[in-house]
Structure 1
Amino acid sequence: MAEAERSFVKTVFRLEEIDKDLFRGDHMRSVSMTRVFGGQIASQALVAAQCTVSNEQTVHSLHTYFLRPGDLSVPILYRVTHLRDGRSFASRSVEAIQRGRFIAHVVLSFQTPEISSSSIVHQVPMPRAPDPDTLEAMIDPFRVRGFGVSESNDSLPSFEFRDATNFAEWAATRRVWLKAVNASFDNSIFHSALLALISDSFFISAALRTHSSFQFGMATSLDHSIYFHSTSVRADDWILFDVESSRASNNRALGTGRLYARDGTLIMTAVQEALIRPKL
């Protein structure tokens, strides 16, 4: 495991178990971040909940409500409640707590794999997109000051991005190839957590694409849901993130994002509602 990779995993995904079903997590941080990144909370809640189910069970859905801004100056406590333990499914509720107050509530469901040749199988086809090797690299949004990240920081994930958005098309969409750098570990939980973390991206920019005259004031995620369709995903392979905002009203924008492996397999679906307010 590379040094930067080991530092990020140790800082963000190696939660400290301080009591039964109670975990403490540190932050990805930089000099210009002002609050905890929502994707970090979702991914750490996933890691905490996974520690309380059997090794055979893997996450298939995660639903997060962001209740308050997270404070970077103190760790987050993740309190896991066992809602149900069945032969096929297990359900967990995770409360993210700082200073005695809830900052997020996450509900997750895990399934024991059911592999059968008679199961129904279908998916939405991957949209056409240029091959990532033919596209120029985007600036990593985790490592630019405008997003809130310093130049070099091992407590941050490192991703490579290629923008495949068709900007000639006037639509509330974003289409981006992405992959984690220095993520050669074989821990499938951490790969799912990395993708959960990065899936809290590009929804707001998709919603704003058709509003060039909008006087932007602030934006934040209100809730974020993820459906995991595959248990063998790797964050260090190229993945196409196809995001579309289907509706915006009352200062809220709804978006759906589909993540495809390079071979066209739909591996995750994310749905997010964001608060987007104009400048006052």
Structure 2
Amino acid sequence: MAGGEVSDSCSTSGLTSNSGHVGLTDPQKSPEDENLKSPASQDTQDLKSVLVTSVLNLEKLDVDLYRGTHHWVPRTQRLFGGQIIGQALVAAAKSVSDNFYVHSLHCYFVRAGDPKVPVLYQVDRTRDGRSFTVRSVKAIQHGQPILICQASFQKLQSSPLEHQFTMPSVPPPEDLLTTEELIHFHLSKPDLAENAKKGLNKLLANEVPIEIKPINPASFYRFAPSEPRRLFWGRARGHIGEGNTKLHCCVAAYVSDFALLGTAMLPYPKYRAEFSASLDHAMWFHNTFRSDEWMLYECESSWAGQCVAHFSCAVLSSFTNLNQKYLLIPEEKWLLPFKILEIEIVQNI
């Protein structure tokens, strides 16, 4: 079982990948070229370097055996589930030919991750076919698996049949505020309660390498009861670049475990989960995409009961190429217990 998202709202954390391990290459630049860059350009390059070299950077120990380290630990003091999923997909992708692209992955979290020690990723080359290739990955700590992942890779091919649901009608991202801008707006209110200020400042203190623009901020932040569904535009901060489909899929896998718990909590604005853990996680990749461009996230929780909630998240489009469905992400989380904030009474769901 892996730690869940940062909070019930929008905060997210380290999202990165390694260029050398999944095929991303940058042109060599002379020192003179670097010195001629504007400060803004230099900042972009610095951020890009962080995004593509840290969290998803795995050290090769042997054939099909890798080691990953941790760059962020959620408040649960367990490993963040998205990190383990993303690193497992990186390990699987290393053993696959360049002309195969990830088609789907299915993961089970079987033990809590220990943030004090690295994770080993052991890849089993389950099947190599002409159109599909399958890899099984175990994430291991203290000699025992903490995650079991199966990933399917497919050769890109044209299809005579194509259909999908219509994309929801929402405002474009340039018409909306980021989560940071929304927080600053509320902090500027003179009548804001002191406990609310503390909570908002905690959100600002979190490292947020994902840009998020909620479609409906009031629903996103659980100001009032609403149906367990929310939409937001999201993208990775910084420039990752074109031409590396596997890299963008690994980044998307890392991001995919964010913002799900808060969706199930939307009907219950007075409650918060004292503890949550991911149980299982699946993703389907329908088209190529760029994780550093705006994509619309439609998150829903179809059921909650017995301290478990089921989620699905469709990443429906890139703003530059509307009406393309890219990802489908169903997941279950374990929620235990719930607290009524006003009177500090612990209750099960």
In the alignment, does 2:71 pair up with 1:12? no
Give how far 1:212 is off.
Answer: 2.9
Task: Find the counterpart in structure 2 of residue 80 from structure 1.
Answer: 123
User: Which residue, out of 104, 129, 134, partners 2:147?
Assistant: 104
| Contact 1:214/1:278 (8 A) holds in 2 | no
In the alignment, does 2:112 pair up with 1:61? no
Q: Counterpart of 2:97 in structure 1: which amino acid? A: S
User: Which residue, out of 226, 234, 250, partners 1:178?
Assistant: 234
Q: Counterpart of 2:273 in structure 1: which amino acid? A: F
The aligned runs of 1:115-134 (5 Å cut-off) are 115-116=158-159, 119-134=160-175
CA distance 1:84–1:237, change in 2 (3 Å)? same
Counterpart secondary structure, 1:55: coil
In the alignment, does 2:262 pair up with 1:221? no
Counterpart secondary structure, 1:47: helix
Counterpart secondary structure, 2:274: strand
Counterpart secondary structure, 1:266: coil
Give the strand-richer structure, 1 or 2. Answer: 1
Counterpart secondary structure, 2:104: strand
| Contact 2:105/2:282 (8 A) holds in 1 | yes
Structure 1 CA distance, aligned partners of 2:285 and 2:294?
17
Please provide the CA RMSD for this pair: 2.4
In the alignment, does 2:97 pair up with 1:48? no
| Offset from partner CA, 1:151-209 (integer Å, 9 cap, x none) | 56xxxx71111001373882101211011111333332221111111111221111110
Q: Percent identity?
A: 34
* TM-score (normalised: structure 2): 0.72
| Contact 2:51/2:238 (8 A) holds in 1 | no
In the alignment, does 2:324 pair up with 1:265? yes
| Contact 2:51/2:240 (8 A) holds in 1 | no
The aligned runs of 1:151-162 (5 Å cut-off) are 158-162=209-213
Give how far 1:13 is off.
Answer: 2.0
Return the index of the structure with the highest Cα Rg: 2
Structure 1 CA distance, aligned partners of 2:86 and 2:201?
23
Structure 1 CA distance, aligned partners of 2:272 and 2:179?
25
Structure 1 portions without partners, runs of 5+: none
| Contact 1:64/1:107 (8 A) holds in 2 | yes
Structure 1 CA distance, aligned partners of 2:272 and 2:98?
49
In the alignment, does 2:76 pair up with 1:37? no
| Offset from partner CA, 1:27-85 (integer Å, 9 cap, x none) | 22269672211011111111110111111111110111112222222111100011111
Give how far 1:214 is off.
Answer: 3.5
Counterpart secondary structure, 1:12: coil
| Contact 1:67/1:103 (8 A) holds in 2 | yes
Aligned residues: 269
User: Which residue, out of 82, 107, 113, partners 2:156?
Assistant: 113
Task: Find the counterpart in structure 1 of residue 192 from structure 2.
Answer: none
Task: Find the counterpart in structure 2 of residue 209 from structure 1.
Answer: 266
Structure 2 CA distance, aligned partners of 1:95 and 1:228?
21
Q: Counterpart of 1:132 in structure 2: which amino acid? A: P
| Contact 2:64/2:123 (8 A) holds in 1 | yes
Structure 1 CA distance, aligned partners of 2:227 and 2:125?
42
Structure 1 CA distance, aligned partners of 2:98 and 2:289?
16
Give how far 1:224 is off.
Answer: 0.9
Give the helix-richer structure, 1 or 2. Answer: 2
CA distance 1:213–1:269, change in 2 (3 Å)? same
Counterpart secondary structure, 2:336: strand
| Offset from partner CA, 1:115-169 (integer Å, 9 cap, x none) | 14xx2100111112121111111149xxx9867x9656xxxx7111100137388
